[in-house]
Amino acid sequence: MALKTLADAFHDELRDVLSAEKQLTKALPKMIKKASSPELKAAFEAHLAETLQQVERVEQAFEDLGKTAKAKKCEAMAGLIEEAASLMEENADPEVMDALLIASAQKVEHYEIATYGTLCTWAKLLGFSQAKSLLGENLAEEEKTDKLLTGLSTKVNQAARV
Q: Would you state the pLDDT for residue 95?
A: 94
Q: Report which secondary-structure segment, H or E, holds 14.
A: helix 6-34
Domain at 6-161: CATH architecture: Up-down Bundle (1.20)
The neighbour count for residue 145, using CB atoms within 10 Å, is 22
Domain boundaries, the chain: 6-161
pTM, full prediction = 0.94
Per residue in 54-79, pLDDT (tens digit) is 999 999 999 999 999 999 999 999 99
Torsions phi, psi for 70 (to 5 deg): -125, 120
Q: How far apart are CA 153 and CA 99, in angstroms?
A: 7
